[in-house]
Amino acid sequence: MSEASLGRHLVVEYFECNPELINDVPYIERAMVEAAEEAGATIINSTFHHFSPFGVSGVVVIQESHLAIHTWPEYGYASVDIYTCGEPVDPWRAFQYLKEKFASKHSSVIEMLRGQPSQLKKVPFEAPASASPLDPATLTPEFKRHVWFTDRDEFIALSLRHTGDRLYRVRSPYQLVEVYQTYAYGKMLACDGMVMTTEGDEYVYHEMIAHVPLLLKPDAERVLIIGGGDGGAAREVLRHSQVKEVVLVEIDEKVIEAARLYFPDLAQSFDHPKLNLIIGDGIEYVSKAAKGSFDVVIVDSTDPVGPAEGLFTDAFYRDVHRILSPTGVMVTQSESPRFNVGVFQKLFDTYRRIFGPENAHCYLISVPTYPSGTWSLSFNTKSGIHPLHDLDEARAAAFTEAHGLKYYSPAIHKAAFTLPRYVQELLEPQKVTA
Ligand code: SAM
What's the pLDDT band for 142 if we cut at 50, 70, 90? confident
pLDDT exceeds 70 at position 153: yes
pTM score: 0.86
Could you tell me the distance, in angstroms and rounded to a whole number, from the CA of residue 302 to the centre of ligand 1? 4
Lowest-confidence region among 26-30, 82-86, 335-339, 427-431? 427-431
Q: Which atom of ligand 1 is nearest to the CA of 230?
A: 9
- Look at residue 434 in the predicted model and tell me its pLDDT: 46
- Look at residue 180 in the predicted model and tell me its pLDDT: 97
Could you tell me the distance, in angstroms and rounded to a whole number, from the CA of residue 228 to the centre of ligand 1? 5
- Look at residue 260 in the predicted model and tell me its pLDDT: 98
Q: What is the CB < 6 Å shell around ligand 1?
A: 174, 191, 196-197, 205, 226-230, 249-252, 255, 281-283, 300-302, 307-308, 310-311, 333
| Cis status of the peptide bond prior to 387, with omega within 30 of 0 | no
pLDDT exceeds 80 at position 430: no
pLDDT exceeds 80 at position 274: yes
Measured CA to CA, the distance from residue 261 to residue 217 in angstroms comes to 33
- Please provide the distance, in angstroms rounded to a whole number, between the alpha carbons at the two ends of the chain: 67
Measured CA to CA, the distance from residue 320 to residue 331 in angstroms comes to 10
Q: Which atom of ligand 1 is nearest to the CA of 333?
A: 4
Q: What is the mean pLDDT of residues 134-142?
A: 60
- Look at residue 8 in the predicted model and tell me its pLDDT: 94
pLDDT exceeds 80 at position 33: yes
Q: What is the mean pLDDT of residues 392-405?
A: 98
Q: Are 421 and 427 in contact (CB under 8 A)?
A: no
Q: What is the mean pLDDT of residues 380-387?
A: 97
pLDDT exceeds 60 at position 137: no
Lowest-confidence region among 89-103, 172-186, 187-201, 296-310? 296-310
Q: What is the mean pLDDT of residues 357-380?
A: 96
Mean pLDDT value across the chain = 93
Please state, for a pLDDT cut of 70, what percent of the chain lies above it. 94
- Look at residue 1 in the predicted model and tell me its pLDDT: 43
Do strands 43-50 and 56-62 pair parallel, antiparallel, or not at all (unpaired)? Answer: antiparallel
Q: What is the mean pLDDT of residues 143-154?
A: 86
What structural domains and CATH numbers belong to the chain?
2-119 (3.60.90.10), 202-431 (3.40.50.150)
